[in-house]
Amino acid sequence: MWKPTLFLTLFIALISLSVVALDRNIPPQHLPWKQLNPEAPLGFSTKSQFLRMSLSSSDICMDMARDAAAFNSIPADPKITPSVCGWETARVVYGSDNGTLKPGEANMQCPLAVGAYMWLREVNALAQKHLGSELKKIHHVGTYSCRRQNGNSSGQWSEHAFANAWDITGFELKDGRLISVKTDWQGKDKKRRKFLRDARNKACKIFRVTLSPDYNAAHHDHFHVDMGPSNACR
């Protein structure tokens, strides 16, 4: 006759063996208990790995950003304000070997910065795949703005208030073409439309929130990405 304690022991042993097998045979980007690797391809667990990192000591993320092979960023000075706005730990992001920021660098909370690094790599690959040219610059309108959501005078604070959100307006290729969210999202060029939608979809696998022109009229000319507590892909 089976004894409950024996059954429980065998069950735990089976689960343990299964976890070991998974750990050895499945790429780490698909396993939520593994640490995020910014150099790895995107996986099923990339977002959950980001979340776990965001809840850990900021030193882990800052060391990860510092050691990223092709990332051009430095620690940002803390920004302390009389309101809730600002940050204690962030990075000044210039870009990477896969593209630089235009018109210039941006302050980003560290998980957002690492996400930007990974996304630049994905966007560069998509540019080559769909448009036959590498990414040169990513056009943006900044990260930090001490304001509430939707510009309201009251209500929830925007993630921009903490340099935890980033607005992107277009992608400049090495062959000189500019792919504009405003012009090309619904434009006549199918390759440009496909590129922009795939870039949005890749962002959804990295950032907690990704909003595109599909979300509402306020986003008709840019992508919004952030690492806030919400979770959305539109």
Using CA atoms, how far apart are residues 8 and 56, in angstroms rounded to an integer? 33
Using CA atoms, how far apart are residues 82 and 80, in angstroms rounded to an integer? 7
With 0-12 CB in 10 A as exposed, 13-18 as middle and 19+ as buried, what is 57? Answer: exposed
pLDDT tens for each residue of 38-61: 999 999 999 999 999 999 999 999
Does the pTM of the predicted model rise above 0.75?
yes
Given a contact cutoff of 8 angstroms between Cβ atoms, the answer to whether 12 and 29 are in contact is no
pLDDT tens for each residue of 172-202: 999 999 999 999 999 999 999 999 999 999 9
Tell me the mean pLDDT per 10 residues along the chain, length 234. 54 45 79 96 96 95 97 98 96 98 98 98 98 98 94 84 98 98 98 98 98 97 97 97
Stated as kind and residue range, the H or E segment containing 114 is helix 110-131
